[in-house]
Amino acid sequence: MAETVRLGIIGLGAQGGMYAKFIADGLVPSMTVAAIADTDEAVRTKAAGLYPGAAIFDDYIAMLSSGTVDAIITCVPHFLHPEMAIEALNRDIHVLVEKPAGVYTKQVSELNRVAASKPELTFGIMFNQRNNPLYIRLKEIVDAGEIGEIRRSNWIITNWWRPQGYYDQSAWRATWGGEGGGVLVNQAPHQLDLWQWICGVPQSVYSKVAYGFRRDIAVEDEVTAVADYGNGVTGVFVTATHDIVGTDRFEILGDQGKIVVENSKTATVTRLKKPERELSDSMTMDDVMKLFMGQLNAADLYETEVIEFDSPWGLQHSGVLENFAQNILTGTPLLAPGSDGMKGVRLANAIHLSSWTGAEVSLDFDEDEFLGMLNERIRGEGRFAERA
């Protein structure tokens, strides 16, 4: 059995370069940089100098056919993730896709179908926040029922401030045909994934989305979405790229407690001594008067725990890479199975579709309707090919 996984990196930009450096620096002991594919000659020249042991290709298909790699990671524009992953899987090469898994559910469905037909291959996605010890612990708390049944969740995540120059740096960025959307497909996929990973998948969503609200772009830079989970359970997701101060606050209210996360670093977990309805029903009028006067003893009602973990930069990403390699080598369960990428793409699509139609949209929406409306916007830009 091989002791290391030979990784091929497709696209040595910011993300691909970061992963290559992690591996070269020994943060991913079960993996080597075996090959790099990039269409930019200057990048290939630089890569040859930085990673002399890696084979360098100007075409990813040539890399996949070379026999030099056991696995690949797709560090390319979002539309290309499913296409490249399918090409690799069809050549019996393991795949780790960068987030998001794709731009629209129809292409991700095809990717998942191909992956399911190759159960002997490892298919993962770079949801590095699932390797964040804080969110791992919070999922454990929710799954164990420590705050009871979820009644409401809210996530305000607006600390993605991007000046106009960020969008002007390349012709494909912040376009429907090049990037496939704005903040929902670029900055916020990790939070969309964590929201569903911890709180569950909603039944439907209604959204108000602004396109080019505070930036000269075609895609969304301001989003407010209300999710319906059934039985009166709701969730709200707010994100934007024009808030220079920015907020990151995630709340989960249960019928026996509450979690409040600030800045994805510190969580305050409140556990009620009894379910909230029992506390309510057992209170006398004297208790109500004490409540109004601030005289109730909080310790009689609930206890509070503050959770904070140190998660040094880079360890989350490198940990996902190592976990992916260990799944290939030893069968260690994946932190983020690739098929889970569909959930965030489906939610982002539903949020877009709700804003385009002005209606509440089921998460089981018509994939062809969404793709048709996406292609309308791509045609309107007049710069990119439509999608199938």
The model's pLDDT over 167-205, given as tens digits with 9 standing for 90+, comes to 999 889 999 999 999 999 999 999 999 999 999 999 999
d(CA 200, CA 230): 11
Q: Provide, rounded to the nearest whole percent, the portion of the chain with pLDDT above 90.
A: 94
d(CA 196, CA 143): 13
CB distance 260 to 247 below 8 Å: no
Mean pLDDT taken over the chain: 96
d(CA 23, CA 12): 13
Q: Provide, rounded to the nearest whole percent, the portion of the chain with pLDDT above 70.
A: 100
H or E segment and range at residue 55: strand 55-57
For residue 1, pLDDT over 70 is answered with no
Q: Is beta strand 71-74 parallel, antiparallel or unpaired with respect to 94-97?
A: parallel
In this structure, CATH architecture of domain 5-126+314-337: 3-Layer(aba) Sandwich (3.40)
The two three-digit tokens of residue 55, written as one number: 């084979």
**Domain coordinates in residue numbering, the chain:** 5-126+314-337, 130-311+344-381
For residue 349, pLDDT over 80 is answered with yes
pLDDT of residue 257: 98
The model's pLDDT over 263-293, given as tens digits with 9 standing for 90+, comes to 999 999 999 999 999 999 999 999 889 889 9
The model's pLDDT over 21-67, given as tens digits with 9 standing for 90+, comes to 999 999 999 999 999 999 999 999 999 999 999 999 999 999 999 99
pTM of this prediction?
0.95
The model's pLDDT over 108-146, given as tens digits with 9 standing for 90+, comes to 999 999 999 999 999 999 999 999 999 999 999 999 999
pLDDT of residue 311: 79
Provide the Cα torsion 285, 288, 293, 294; round to 10°: 140
d(CA 215, CA 269): 37
pLDDT of residue 121: 98
pLDDT of residue 54: 98
pLDDT, average across residues 8-14: 96
Residues in a beta bridge with 307: 267
The model's pLDDT over 221-247, given as tens digits with 9 standing for 90+, comes to 999 999 999 999 999 999 999 999 999
Of the listed ranges 27-41, 253-267, 298-312, 373-387, the one predicted with least confidence: 298-312
CB distance 350 to 363 below 8 Å: yes
For residue 320, pLDDT over 70 is answered with yes
pLDDT band at 2 (very low <50, low <70, confident <90, very high): confident
Same fold, 5-126+314-337 and 130-311+344-381: no
pLDDT of residue 170: 87
pLDDT of residue 193: 97
From the options 3.30.70.100, 3.40.50.12780, 3.30.360.10, 3.40.50.300, give the CATH code of 130-311+344-381.
3.30.360.10
